[in-house]
Structure 1
Amino acid sequence: MGVRVFVQERSARVGGSGDALREEGQLRGAATLWRPLAEVAAAAEGGDWEDVRHLLEHLSRRRHLVEVVTGHVSAAATAATATTSAAAHRLLLLGVKAAVDEKVGKNYYSYTAKKYKSQIVAGTNYFIKVHVGGDDYIHIRVFDPLPVYGNKKELGGVQTNKTESDEITLNLNKVEGDVHVGFNKLLAELNKDGAPYALSLANRLYGEKTYKFVEKFLDDTKTLYLAELEAVDFISNAEAARVKINKWVEKKTQEKIKDLLAKGDVDDETRLVLVNALYFKGDWEMKFYRGNTTEVQFKINKNESKPVQMMHQTATFPFTYVPDVDCQILELPYEGKDMSMLIMLPNNMEDNTTGLEKLEQMLTYDKLVEWTRPDMMHTVEVKVGLPRFKLEETYDLKEILVSMGMVDTFSPQKCDFSGMSCNNLVLSKVVHKSFVEVTEEGTEAGAATAVTATLTSMPLIQKMFMADHPFLFFIRHNPTQSILFYGRYSSP
């Protein structure tokens, strides 16, 4: 899959960095923090590091103080408890903000990283809530939220006037602490060595060679997102830059994603392109035998059908039924079981409908997690019929993101990317391309870039799961619960 984010120069700079206002706000806010920080200092002096961890977790919700305590904190705490002056409180803030590894050690860092990583996953998967059941989702057949989210976080880190609406759109208002560190940890988890599947998420920046980009922006994107900047000539030769970017994406997706950027997508006004390329290939834990694949009729609705190559096998798989949406859910694990494909198949369709309407209206990421929890899925013998299929789609996500509420990021009057470059920049376009192929051996996928149900217990008898009508599918990384791809198959 591929995602491309375009940043262009804007004619007039709007607004300032807000450093002075933020500094003033920090000084005022420090006056309310001395007592809890003194408690942290006291716990550190007593060596009660578990208490320190919990106190810091509580503080992080208020001030994002997520790293640490040192042996020097006691002096700062004494100064802070003796006076309520802003200077003393700032001294305490500095005293508390230091060597994690020396005192708290890796356990606390792992704890916070794990927490942020899980919140990043929830933010990434938040796109499911918006797309599934929304008007835009009708036009989406296959999508990968991770690169879209990653690109927006790279930009978010340098946008000095991030607005509440943009934060809510990405579900970032619910993420505590350093979201970039959390995303970095998630990438490391997904790209771990020795996995029985092939998964690569690569990032790169292409910047106008005559532009000066802020060093901190370049350092952060390289360290946290593994994204190098390559200088290209958009002003004099935008077409050559487009070809170069497309070749990189093609290479990173094993030639599955070609021509991410169409002619005219970049021009002499383009200043920066952020690209994510995601490639996944996994073999089924239980492969389908090609000799069992037959042609059957796939029902698009009650009145129309088309032929499809249907793969067949009978084996034991995690399976459940959700009565509230009258839907079966089947989990097909890939080798190693770190990855799975979840398939949601409605039981009935009405005239001129796909049968997905009710499911899509009710489905959210939280419900997906609830319905597919290990204790809700029952391992039973299932007679499976699944189409062999390939989906490839390209989307311009600007309209979708704006409809979700991300308005200010695309506004020349409101956006401020001065943390990226001293030049005046505005986000102009986000293009997303996804590819998924499901065969008897497994799945190959690529992208280059955005009321509690009651479940019934399944008795240990053979179940029938015949996907000969529209269904939803999700490719999930099980250790993190991250949805790498999701889509709908509604017609061959």
Structure 2
Amino acid sequence: MSKTSGKGMDSLSVANAQFCFDVFKEVSCDHTIENVLLSPLSILSALALVLFGARGNSASQIEKCEDTAVHLLIQALLSEISKSSHSQVHIASGLFAEKAHPFLPKYLDCIKLLCKLRPENLDFRTHLEEARMQINAQTENKTKGEVKELLFPSSLTSSEQLVLVNAISFRGAWKYAFQKDQTMAMAFRLDESQSKSVQMMRLQGHLKLGSITKPPGQVLELPDVEDHLSMVIILPSKDVGLGQVTKEITHEKLNNWISSGNMKDTAVVLYLPQLRLEGFPEDLAAVLAALGMVDVFDRSRANLSGIIAGGGLGVSKIIHKAMLEVNESGSEFTLTNQTIKVENPEIFNVDHPFLFFILHKETKTILFYGRVSNP
């Protein structure tokens, strides 16, 4: 049994999925037609930075979003995922306080030990632009240049007290290669009346394929080259809107859809648009407040006495940005990917809006959840 197996991981997978669907529904209310991308596991890892030093109601409200028993498992799982040599995952989290509020030494020691990072004091009040650029540079460095400009000039104000940031990037390397010479322009139907031309990739191989009855559609699993992570594509029937699927999807349904009882090894030709998705840098404060995490954002009610001495301090912003790229393997992975011909294949043509998940296969933990309305 690996270190990511067992009951603790089961509880992490469930808590993470519940959090994922709750946050996604809230975010979708503000972004009804755009592409949406978020990483629930990465957001939870960032919230742990505040949870370690929150007390009283501030702590218990965060615990509703994150089970305290699992935050160490999150660190272990993210560490294992980011060490994967082929599918590249880079994560950056940071906690930054106005320089008038120094962090408690005990808190700094705890975060360094548990999360391998050091919260920092910055001068938001008189050197705001310098503070913003420092946070951006750190994020870009930790994500190996994948996430640039996390914070826009308008993202921060001089009254910030405590800013939590989190960024994650992903580039997939798949078991079966998308061949560059197979990519062609094809129509992608945006809605009943509009289509656009997209660069449609093609691959063939033996993949797990299943059907969904309510709401009607299909589900396909694309494993990465190490069988470590997988991309699960939920493709509704053409007459079913994505809104209906996102409303009805639950952790239990997703598990049923991807279960061995539903998914069968099938010869498949997959058509998938080239994807480069960047979740907009989202301040999740309002989203998390809607989910019950209220006190930590209200300086009159927040109790962060385990982070900074004295009261009257709240979290100003929680900024999350996810970046994901799925394209033809023009990289060093080409030789390791299989390219095969399949007989009598099923055609899985992702030519209209769809949902997808990037899962850690062993634990079925959701690393990314995305909605593609307009590739």
User: Structure 1 length as normaliser, TM-score?
Assistant: 0.67
Larger-Rg structure: 1
CA contact (8 A) 2:161 2:314 kept: no
Quote how far apart the aligned CAs of 1:388 are: 1.0
Rate the CA distance shift 1:374–1:252 in 2: closer, same or farther, 3 A: farther
* SS, match of residue 86 in structure 2: coil
After superposition, where does 1:46-445 map in structure 2 within 5 Å? 114-133=6-25, 135-136=29-30, 138=32, 141-162=36-57, 166-167=61-62, 169-170=64-65, 172=67, 178-192=69-83, 195-349=85-239, 355-394=241-280, 395-423=282-310, 424-441=312-329
Return 152-161 or 326-335, whichever deviates more.
152-161
Q: Distance in 2 between matches of 1:293 and 1:282?
A: 17
* SS, match of residue 239 in structure 1: helix
Quote how far apart the aligned CAs of 1:461 are: 6.0
- Report Cα offsets for 1:213-238 as digits up to 9, x if no partner: 22221122111111213343333312
CA contact (8 A) 1:470 1:491 kept: yes
In the alignment, what sits opposite 2:368?
A: 485
Rate the CA distance shift 1:168–1:221 in 2: closer, same or farther, 3 A: closer
Aligned length: 358
Quote how far apart the aligned CAs of 1:442 are: 8.5
CA contact (8 A) 2:163 2:318 kept: no
* SS, match of residue 327 in structure 1: strand
Return 252-261 or 332-341, whichever deviates more.
252-261
* SS, match of residue 279 in structure 2: strand
Rate the CA distance shift 1:232–1:319 in 2: closer, same or farther, 3 A: same
Q: Counterpart of 2:144 in structure 1: which amino acid?
A: Q
- Report Cα offsets for 1:182-202 as digits up to 9, x if no partner: 33322333234x633322323
Q: Distance in 1 between matches of 2:39 and 2:202?
A: 27
CA contact (8 A) 1:203 1:225 kept: no
Rate the CA distance shift 1:279–1:288 in 2: closer, same or farther, 3 A: same
* SS, match of residue 366 in structure 1: helix
Rate the CA distance shift 1:402–1:199 in 2: closer, same or farther, 3 A: same
Q: Distance in 2 between matches of 1:164 and 1:240?
A: 31
Percent identity over paired residues: 32
Q: Counterpart of 2:8 in structure 1: which amino acid?
A: Y
Quote how far apart the aligned CAs of 1:393 are: 2.7
Q: Counterpart of 2:149 in structure 1: which amino acid?
A: D
Give every structure 1 segment of 4 or more consecutive aligned residues whose post-TM-superposition deviation is greater than 4 Å: 131-134
Quote how far apart the aligned CAs of 1:321 are: 0.4
* SS, match of residue 181 in structure 1: helix
Q: Distance in 2 between matches of 1:222 and 1:362?
A: 40
Q: Distance in 2 between matches of 1:297 and 1:316?
A: 25
Q: Counterpart of 1:226 in structure 2: which amino acid?
A: K
Rate the CA distance shift 1:416–1:273 in 2: closer, same or farther, 3 A: same
CA contact (8 A) 1:126 1:171 kept: no
Return 316-325 or 161-170, whichever deviates more.
161-170
Q: Counterpart of 1:464 in structure 2: which amino acid?
A: I
CA contact (8 A) 1:203 1:226 kept: no
Rate the CA distance shift 1:137–1:116 in 2: closer, same or farther, 3 A: farther
Higher helix proportion: 1
Q: Distance in 1 between matches of 2:369 and 2:224?
A: 16
